[in-house]
Amino acid sequence: MPSESARLQNLPRVIDKTESGLALHQSIAHIMAIILTYTLTEIEIARLQENVQKVSETLSAKKDKLDSLLLEVVLVPFSHTYFGGSKSFEVDVRPILDAMLDYLNKHHDMKFAYDDVRSFERWWSGLTDSSREVVKRLIETRQLELVSGSGASGGVNSHYFGAIMEAMEGDEFLVNHLNYRPSTYLSLNKLSLNPIKSLIAKKSSLTRSVIQHVNDHVKSHFAKSNRLEFYWKQLFTGDTDQNSVITHVLPYRDYDPAHSCGPDPQVCCQFDFRRANEQNCGDNSNSKIDESNIIQRARILADQYRKKSKLFKTNILLIPHGGDFRYGSDEFQRQHENYAKLFAQINNDKSLQMHVRIGTFRDYFGLMDAKGRNSLIPAIRGDFYTFASQKDHDYNGFYTGRPLIAHFDRILARYVRSADIGFSLANRKSKTSDDPWIGRMFYGQLVEARKILAQIQDYGISNIDSGSIQEFEAKVIKAIDETQKIIASAYSYLRLISNAETSKVISVEHYITGTNIPENVIVNVGDTIVVENSLGRPRNELICIYVSTILARVNDGKTLQQIEPVVIFSDDGTVSIDSSKYRLCFRAEKLPAFTLARFKLGPIRKNGNIATIQASKPIKMPSNFTGVIMKPFDGDVKLGNVKLSAEFDAKSGLLKSVKFANREQAELVDISFVEYDIAVLNFSNAKETVLVPSGQAKPISMDSGAYAVVKGPVRSYVIVKGLNELKLLHEVSLEADATNLRIRNVIGSGRTVKSEVAMRMRTNFTKTDRFFTEVNGYQVGFDPWHQLYNEILKFQFVYRKRFPNLPIHSNFYPMTSAAYLEGGFRLTLLGRQSLGAASLEPGLLDVILGRRTSDNAKSIQNRNSFPSESHFRLVIEHFISESPPKPLYDTIGLHSLQTSALATNFEYPPIVMAGIFTSFLQTPVIKIRGKKQLSDPDSGLAFPLPCDIHPVALRTMSRPTNYSNQSDPTTLPKNFIAFTLRRVRLDTRFESKKHHGCAFFVNNSLPLDFLFSESFEASHTSSLTGLYAELDTEIYSLTLLPNDLKTVLFRF
């Protein structure tokens, strides 16, 4: 087997043979960048001394054919802003946009690019009609470019649903109010990048991107081979360009003017004219350009441009000129006046062979198109984890920290998605019904909830001041409350049953600020429980609610159910039973797709199926509390059903092994908890973005704590409370007939030591195991190069290679929704929140549950020390054969049928509501028509979707918003619904053959005519976010290939 270095030495010969036109990015040469990137990592990239600046200087000394060509330079003035609370907008953002409007209107040769559409909309809402017309003219004449419809700093570890909804919300504003469709995607503050974001951009009809945060040493390698511009391709597209985006990597360490014009920051800083009279940059300061210095200064600037151009393959050069919150006050005038003089001098000096101008990103890429230079650009596949700008500072803390907000992101996404589905179905029905739907009045609240979801995608949200983050948490909770009302109203209307009854309908989950752990409402006997299924297929789900009496049950005579005690642990380890409530758990079978089922809660005369309880310590029973069956503790801690048994350590109560009934041998699955102490850093600067453990993880002992074992016919569980300042609560449960385990962890408040707390899973895999993490919750995969190199990055799950020679933190990767280890069997951990994961040795999986830190003068202490909850599902799968075949493509990881179904079930659990009254949540009166058909209602779909088709979103499109009342803008729905669908690719090497109540897609074509229970007037093709739609052409079916992601528009 040839060594890695030997294989890499052969690659330049391939490049030499294919260095012409588009053939280049169809060759093996494109993959060299990815292989070399991780080869560099393997030999410890932190030891490399040559950065991009030095590469520029080295290359500038060499002559090449581009030296004889005219260098075309486009300087792009821009400002990058991001979420920072209300004060930040008024102080830091509004002055920029006001200055832009005034200056560009008066100076038609000045241009500007802006990348935060959320802030732009807020600013737009307060403009006069005349000012809005000026903005439209600036866009039409291409003086102003709005870069992408999504926010400026969407999190790289956010779920793809949130990323799509963020882009859709921004794009809809741009089309509705400006008739503008962006073509460029700008990514400056995303700390590490992956192809899913570029896929969403391309599917949204954005064809170009500019990115910044790529590891410095990766940039150096790309620079040496002139690969800082490339087609960023998806691994599953093969040789086609269908899903590739032309990508420009900003080469230097930062994107401010000092790091943009060329390799020397001291020189470039001198041409940042905002800094005039503020600070000095070298000997020449930032003095104004005049007749006395213009020739010398123009030549110095042109020299930097020429040196920077050596990093690229073409004679067209991009010079971004801006930064965070730039171009407020008089900066427009300073920059424009001085650069106008400099550019006139450079253009007139024929010896410089240079043509420079002020433009936009669109101008730059348009020039590349016009000159035919895109044919020279290579292509790469893969991602850019992890970003590092200096030694030992890997910027992956952002996907291990902020667990509170990360969990709220997914909670809100679940409610927004369900509210969108319910609203769309009800609004469609109301058009042809004589009975109007009052729920249409809630559309403005739905739009606001969408905006909050878009805002929460910003990774920087955890670094704003504590007052603003608390204000934002309150907005998130309000958005959840509003979507709950919409869901209740929509499905009440859809039932259209006579004999109206009136009640208050609320969710059984109620959230408050400071924790993502819901307060569960007690449901009273006589109430109706409503269970909503937002998936495209029927499902079976375990539903648990709190009730006030042990004599409560679901009254249908068929539902499998149990009553169980609610276990409470005190800080000293005492085990007690909650005297105020019980937990009622029942199986909701065959919940129909896109609708709800209703269950009546009634009384019984004698105790029904009551779960038993035993504990490692004496149980403190409240007085006059009866009905709970307590068993003496016998030290045998096992959970089991007919398919699976799980064994736990008698001392700690933690999981030790899992055994399937059809297999002789148990599989080692050892769960423990560890913490990584955080190295001493200046956290006021590093904030939450840097993860630097000071050493190996230290075990967190749970032996001195207490645990309880609860067993019943519907579910059984072990719940453990650790006696440490983390106040760690850990629960593992097994449902009847399930082949997987549920895991719930809660980290309490009060921790002051800086540390990263992790759940550790250990198996008996050997060194042959493989570690994969799923990126952005999206499943894709295909790599035609797998026969040549099996260490190229993979995708849907991305293969993560261990690098023992690198620091610990360099081996942590984002785990948006799943990770797995594969050896003698596959261990998959599904998650419902974005976290970080690592496999530091064979058979080991560490998942960071949360960061516990002291105050960093911002918001870390305030938001990271609150109680935080995380949920997982642990799935063990065996191969069909003892000698399993190799994966279909060795360079990718795929879900099995079982984990694919479980993943969507887990990501979107049923929303449960009940007709009850509470004192803490006021809801409007909602009429529920009638009492008939309390279960098995009609589905919103005419037939279930195939197993491998997931309905990402069913979203009503919006009319332009009326901002006349800025405190309460009005948005009305259009008669268009966007239906976004994703087709997954599955790994078929596993034993699970169960189809989970659905059939497989057979001919790649989904009929649209009778897809829904209510018919539509027409259906049309659309880009992913609705930017482009072919409304003049009707379609009757939708072609979906494996790994496809498409949106279709329905008109009614």
**Does residue 386 have a cis bond before it (omega within 30 degrees)?**
yes
**Rounded CA gap, 805 and 309, in Å?**
35
DSSP output for 955-1018: EEEEPPPB-SSTTS-B--EEEEEEEEEEE--EE--BS----TT-----SSEEE-TTSBSS--SE
H or E element that contains 48 = none
β-strands 245-249, 229-233 pairing: antiparallel
Q: Tokens 């850019």 correspond to what residue?
A: 384
Judge contact between 542 and 906, C-beta under 8 A. Answer: no
Tokens of 20: 């012409």
**Rounded CA gap, 937 and 598, in Å?**
8
Q: Annotate 118-141 with b (16+ C-beta within 10 A) or e (fewer).
A: bbbbbbbeebeeebeebbeebbee
Provide the pLDDT for residue 193.
Answer: 67
Provide the pLDDT for residue 139.
Answer: 98
β-strands 770-774, 911-915 pairing: unpaired
Rounded to the nearest 10°, the torsion over CA 97, 99, 104, 106 is: 150
Provide the pLDDT for residue 749.
Answer: 67
Provide the pLDDT for residue 217.
Answer: 74
Q: Which residues pair with 1006 in a beta bridge?
A: 1038
The closest alpha carbon to 646, from 743, 728, 553, belongs to 743
β-strands 229-233, 379-381 pairing: parallel
Please give the order of strands across the beta sheet that includes 644-648. Answer: 638-640, 644-648, 655-660, 667-668
Provide the pLDDT for residue 1001.
Answer: 80
Residue type, 420: D
Provide the pLDDT for residue 632.
Answer: 79
Q: Helices (DSSP H) in 290-371: which residue ranges?
A: 294-309, 331-348, 361-370
Residues 6+ apart with CB under 8 A from 450: 165, 169, 416, 420
Tokens of 832: 């419902």
Provide the pLDDT for residue 354.
Answer: 98
**Rounded CA gap, 100 and 591, in Å?**
54
The closest alpha carbon to 418, from 536, 165, 163, 594, belongs to 594
**Rounded CA gap, 577 and 702, in Å?**
21
Q: Secondary structure of the chain: what % helix, strand, coil (to 5)?
A: 30, 30, 40
Looking at residue 893, the DSSP 8-state letter turns out to be B
Provide the pLDDT for residue 918.
Answer: 31
**Rounded CA gap, 154 and 150, in Å?**
8
Judge contact between 335 and 354, C-beta under 8 A. Answer: no
**Rounded CA gap, 112 and 394, in Å?**
32
**Rounded CA gap, 815 and 158, in Å?**
10
Residue type, 854: S
846 Ramachandran zone, left/alpha/beta (phi>0; psi -120 to 50): beta
Residues 6+ apart with CB under 8 A from 80: 115, 116, 152, 186, 188, 189, 255, 322, 323, 324, 325, 326
Average pLDDT per consecutive 10 residues, the chain (1052 residues; last block may be shorter)? 33 26 27 37 46 74 81 97 76 96 98 94 96 98 89 66 92 96 86 70 88 81 88 63 82 93 93 76 73 96 96 96 93 97 98 98 96 82 65 59 75 96 94 87 95 81 66 89 90 56 62 77 89 94 94 88 93 88 94 89 84 92 74 85 96 96 94 86 54 84 91 96 85 96 87 79 81 73 28 46 73 88 92 90 91 48 66 94 65 84 95 60 29 47 91 98 90 97 89 66 88 91 94 94 92 94
**Rounded CA gap, 835 and 9, in Å?**
38
Return the number of other C-beta atoms located less than 10 Å from residue 67's C-beta: 14
Residues 6+ apart with CB under 8 A from 370: none
**Rounded CA gap, 793 and 893, in Å?**
10
β-strands 619-620, 612-615 pairing: unpaired
Please give the order of strands across the beta sheet that includes 184-187. Answer: 184-187, 208-211, 245-249, 229-233, 379-381
Judge contact between 306 and 73, C-beta under 8 A. Answer: no
Residue-range domains of the chain with CATH: 4-391 (3.20.110.10), 949-983+1002-1052 (no CATH)
Return the number of other C-beta atoms located less than 10 Å from residue 837's C-beta: 27
Longest dimension (CA), the chain: 100
Tokens of 473: 């948490």
Percent of the chain having pLDDT more than 70? 77
- Where are any strands of DSSP class E within 534-686? 539-547, 552-554, 561-569, 575-591, 595-603, 612-615, 619-620, 629-630, 638-640, 644-648, 655-660, 667-668, 670-677
Tell me the per-residue pLDDT of 836-869, one tens digit each, with 9 for 90 and over. Answer: 899 999 999 999 987 765 444 344 444 455 678 8
* 712 φ/ψ angles, rounded to the nearest 5 degrees: -155, 175
**Rounded CA gap, 256 and 685, in Å?**
17
Provide the pLDDT for residue 38.
Answer: 42
Tokens of 598: 């209703």
The closest alpha carbon to 914, from 530, 418, 553, 548, belongs to 530
Judge contact between 775 and 194, C-beta under 8 A. Answer: yes
The closest alpha carbon to 149, from 205, 65, 86, belongs to 205
